[in-house]
Amino acid sequence: MTSDVPAIHVEGISKRYRIGAAPASRSLREALTSGAASTIRAALERARGGASPGDFWALDDISFEIPAGQSVGLIGHNGSGKSTLLKIISRIVAPTRGHARIHGRVGALLEVGTGFHPELSGRDNVFLNGAILGMSKAEIRRRYDQIVEFSGVEDFLSVPIKRYSSGMVMRLAFAVAAHLEPDVLIVDEVLAVGDAEFQRKCLGRMDEVARNGCTVLFVSHNLAAVQRLCRRAILLDRGRIASDGPTAEVVDRYLAETAARAEPDCWTALASPHTPVPKAAVFTAARYIDPQRPNCHPRSMGPARFEVRIAATTSMPAMLAADIADELGNKLINLDLWKINGSHADLPRGESVWRFDLEHVYLKPGRYFVTLWLATTTGSTIDYRPMALRIELASDDPMRAEGDTPNQEDGLVPCRASIVRVGEREPA
């Protein structure tokens, strides 16, 4: 698409959610009372300028333009408003104030399973999702083989989508969105799901469509991927634009703000993202130490420990995993309870503490980040905290005897580790 008109125009976007909204009325009297209360509340809000004590503003006066053919990265901590902004731009969610315009055909990949029907087969969902994205049946047939080959799920096309893992659904969804030849491609955290090979394919495909003139708006906590794909980045913080400019400068600012958040043996609070509906379980805090030297940074090549607190509304089995990555989000170590212990995390109701023990950390001295992931036993994400905890590795102890290095697996740094529950607190 070549035009002087910007591909994406966002002006004064604000989005309000009401926290603790009243439940649905159960009788005519309650409905009438609720209606009267709403009228009075609206009048009070207008008197105070539109604010209410129970309001949470996920976005507050966001404005920017993206020229046709430009690739822009959208970064920020969980709860900063990135996904809400993409949903408004994609016309899935209406803004409270302001407006957003997109010129051209849009391919949007926001949440796993969006635009798919769980009871239909993978094959049928390719046609359904393509139609939702604006493709004709003839276009879908013409590109069907390419879509299937890219997705890598050709052996399961006759299986209902509800039997797919979240990674398989994301593969198929990305393949459809990226092959409809959009003018604007909007992608939200596609690299959070799938193996390293699929992530490389995704980045390669986004590179290809960008070179062909497609405008790309890309949300990811993988800062290396953002720097590779985008020359411009926008940093969101608490619903506002904190920085907008060259990617390297915006990433540097983001890392500088993130880097000062944790010290050894100090619990770092992980404030839950503000959402209208509470999650079944959330990470509430995390900390890290050198188990041999409390209050000290772990040493390169030495042991390390980090712990997380999880609050659950009910007891449940869950999948628990953590990744250790460098400052740009390149995953170096994967710690998965199922892979390491062959078990799920049996979460009790209330708050529990889980410990990750690494025998040796085969990384150079420096700064690293821990990403936390909690999911159902079928792989549906319950809570995901990218770059939740910063850890510092000190210089190696020269007197330490060298140990055997485990075999490298899946391109990651090798490690020996254990993950166990070490405590819990009764719910109040």
Same domain membership, residue 75 and residue 168: yes
pTM, two decimals, is 0.69
pLDDT of residue 244: 95
Domain CATH number, residue 352: 2.70.50.60
**pLDDT, tens digit (0-9, with 9 covering 90-100), for 303-353:** 999 999 999 999 999 999 999 988 877 888 989 988 888 889 999 999 999
In a domain, 58, yes or no: yes
pLDDT confidence bin for 172, thresholds 50/70/90: confident
Amino acid at 116: F
In a domain, 45, yes or no: no
pLDDT of residue 75: 93
How far is it, in rounded angstroms, from Cα 378 to Cα 19? 29
**Domain range enclosing 84:** 8-20+51-256
**pLDDT, tens digit (0-9, with 9 covering 90-100), for 42-95:** 555 555 555 555 678 889 999 999 999 999 999 998 788 998 999 899 888 899
Same domain membership, residue 355 and residue 275: yes
Same domain membership, residue 290 and residue 213: no
Same domain membership, residue 247 and residue 300: no
How large is the average pLDDT for residues 136-162?
89
Q: Regarding predicted confidence, which is higher, 196 or 72?
A: 72
How large is the average pLDDT for residues 396-402?
51
Final residue of a domain: which of 206, 226, 256? 256
Return the closest-CA partner of residue 256 out of 270, 271, 266, 242: 242
On the question of pLDDT at 130 being above 90, the answer is: no
Same domain membership, residue 293 and residue 212: no
How large is the average pLDDT for residues 109-127?
82
pLDDT of residue 387: 83
pLDDT of residue 426: 47
Same domain membership, residue 280 and residue 164: no
Q: How many domains does the chain have?
A: 2
Q: Regarding predicted confidence, which is higher, 36 or 154?
A: 154
Same domain membership, residue 308 and residue 207: no
How large is the average pLDDT for residues 405-411?
51
How far is it, in rounded angstroms, from Cα 120 to Cα 219? 29
pLDDT confidence bin for 395, thresholds 50/70/90: confident
In a domain, 46, yes or no: no
How far is it, in rounded angstroms, from Cα 194 to Cα 171? 8
Same domain membership, residue 305 and residue 184: no
pLDDT of residue 339: 85
Same domain membership, residue 141 and residue 278: no
Same domain membership, residue 393 and residue 354: yes
In a domain, 42, yes or no: no
On the question of pLDDT at 140 being above 70, the answer is: yes
Same domain membership, residue 294 and residue 168: no
pLDDT confidence bin for 213, thresholds 50/70/90: confident
**Cα 11–Cα 15–Cα 17 angle in degrees, nearest 5:** 175
Highest mean pLDDT: which range of 81-85, 242-246, 277-281: 242-246
What's phi and psi for 352, nearest 5 deg?
A: -130, 160
107 in Cβ contact with 263 (< 8 Å):
no
On the question of pLDDT at 198 being above 60, the answer is: yes
